[in-house]
Structure 1
């Protein structure tokens, strides 16, 4: 597999997916964008969430005793729970076919690492050109990362990619995403 070409394709289709999402939802305050794969690295999908959709999710899913800071943090940061999970996924069909059929899967650990690196590098290029600033009401505030669903290494992958992609202050805030305190939370505060 040509890994440089894969990164370029991921970059192109992620940009297209996120730009189309913004065009459909121009008034939403996006706080996070991600690319994710599963533990078999057979496909890639884009995901995003906004404060508005997060608040709706929390109100619809959490009631009474279930409305804990821990559960709210889960809905805020688990990309599989986001309103725009798999948004623009149709753009990745060719990439996903190539990944699932690649002969390089034989050395799976190396293959998976290269897929994650291509995803990280594509997002990093988008951050460096300030692409996400054009999609956010608060420029430079959204966190961007790579995730792996249904895998024990998800949090480590998210942290490593966030460190590589984001400015230091955003990365450090992201590291504390599951730290909760027993104080009332202000839902509009994304960090």
Structure 2
């Protein structure tokens, strides 16, 4: 797999997705953007959330469940709970088709394939940060793996690389 080409495609799709989501926000304040994959490495999805969407989700959940600090942090930092989970999937369709084929074809060293994918996702967000610095001022960027025990380590590494120390510290405190 040509990981330089993959990184370039992810960069273009990620910038286009943040531009699309930004155009829909009106007066909402974006606070987080991530790229997400699964343990099979067959696709990448773009996710984003706003303070307003988080407040709405938190209020709705508080009506049916106790809102402990841990649960509030879960709602704030888990892309499956966000207002813009899987946003702009069409922008990632071509790269995801290639990733699906490549992931299925990897037999000998899936761990190396997956490391390359995580690096390409992180590089795409670093590129995004550089290209949209004003729009993303104060926005936490990270890479995650849905429903995976490896997610925490990947998130922490990417947060440290992609964000200034105050944003990274806020993210690291999410679960105490």
For Structure 1 versus Structure 2, the TM-score category normalised by the shorter chain is over 0.9
1:55-106 deviation per Cα after TM superposition (whole angstroms, max 9, x unaligned): 0001112237511111111000001111100000111111111111117622
Runs of 4+ in 1 over 4 A off after TM superposition: none
Q: Note the residue ranges of structure 1 that are not aligned, 5 or more in a row.
A: 180-191
The unaligned stretches of length 5 or more in structure 2 are none
| Structure 2: distance between partners of 1:73 and 1:52 | 15
Partners of 1:73 and 1:178 within 8 A in 2: yes
Q: Is the 8 A contact 2:70 2:174 kept in 1?
A: no
Partners of 1:30 and 1:133 lie apart in 2 by 12
Q: Distance in 2 between matches of 1:96 and 1:45?
A: 9
CA distance in structure 2 between the partners assigned to 1:148 and 1:64 by the alignment: 28
CA contact 1:132–1:142 (8 Å) conserved in 2: no
Please state whether the residue corresponding to 2:43 is helix, strand or coil: coil
Residue 23 of structure 2 is aligned to residue 29 of structure 1: no
Alignment partner for residue 125 of structure 1, among 112, 120, 127? 127
Q: Deviations over 1:113-156 (max 9, x none)?
A: 10000000111122133x1532x5xxx21110000001001111
Equivalent position of 2:67 in the other structure: 67
Q: Does 1:18 align with 2:34?
A: no
| RMSD, aligned α-carbons | 1.5
